Amino acid sequence: MPELTPESSLALDRYLTDTLIGSDPALDQAVADQAAAGLPAIEVAPLNGKLLSLLARIAGARRVLEIGTLGGYSTIWLARAVGATGAVVTIEAEPAHAAVARRNLERAGVADRVEILQGIAADLLPALAGGDPFDFVFIDADKESNTVYLDWAARLGRPGTVVVIDNIGRSGAVAEADSTSAQVQGVRRGLEMLASDARFDATALQTLDRKGWDGIAVALVTDPAL
Ligand code: SAH
Ligand code: DHB
Ligand code: MG
């Protein structure tokens, strides 16, 4: 048996990605263009993008909300999941990121079903109230605001809405109660909210892939009115 090393972990990630995803020109080009535009390489790993897509499909999601677009890599996966008559609303603070995402979504052939809202998510989320509920919410922006985003996920959702939070492991740092990192403390507050807030039932998984050691939380909105 191989030892767990960065190399053996990457080899397994490559094997699983090659076997279950393979080459996907629109996604591969999205990552390349994002890098060429100088955006950080912090998109979800391919296997995780496909997991998001599958979770959204398993949930029967027709309306998806994403907080944190970057270059639209995860957005493409979610847009494919909702199909041609579904809708994705994705929020991005940086105009340059939103511009790269728009081009990537167009090339992937899903721009018609995606609305990119450019601005600070906490400012834009209240205006989404009153529309049809979101069936699936992906939280992947400034970790300090995770509790704010969870609150909106419940308010904009319905019983049965699925919520996924990215980056809940951060190379193990999230286990450090006395961490001085505002991001780690934001992730911890979000996880504590998932545990204590009656509107949610949740778990979390560690992940180890080409993006390193991290994790996702997966939550179900039980009743937004609780
Ligand atoms: N979901 C993307 C990665 C998102 S990276 C993917 O997997 O492909 C996080 C993004 O959140 C960055 O583009 C960053 O600009 C954006 N962001 C950070 N703070 C934000 C805020 N307050 N409101 C909206 N977007 C924000
Ligand atoms: C960071 C943010 C992310 O959403 C991510 O997936 C990885 C890293 C970051 O801010 O460092
Ligand atoms: Mg992330």
Atom of ligand 1 nearest to the CA of 121: 23
pLDDT for the residue numbered 199: 98
Question: Which amino acid residue places its CA nearest to atom 19 of ligand 1?
Answer: 142
pLDDT for the residue numbered 105: 98
Q: Which residues of the chain have pLDDT under 70?
A: none
Q: Which CATH number fits domain 6-221: 3.30.360.10, 2.160.10.10, 3.40.50.150, 3.20.20.100?
A: 3.40.50.150
Tell me the C-alpha distance between 124 and 46, whole Å.
28
Tell me the C-alpha distance between 23 and 156, whole Å.
35
pLDDT for the residue numbered 1: 84
Per-residue model confidence as pLDDT tens digits over 80-105: 999 999 999 999 999 999 999 999 99
- In the three-class reduction of DSSP (H, G, I as helix; E, B as strand; rest coil), residue 216 is classed as strand
pLDDT for the residue numbered 136: 99
Atom of ligand 2 nearest to the CA of 142: 10
Ligand 2 pocket test: pick from 42, 174, 181 the residue with the most ligand atoms within 8 Å of its Cβ: 42
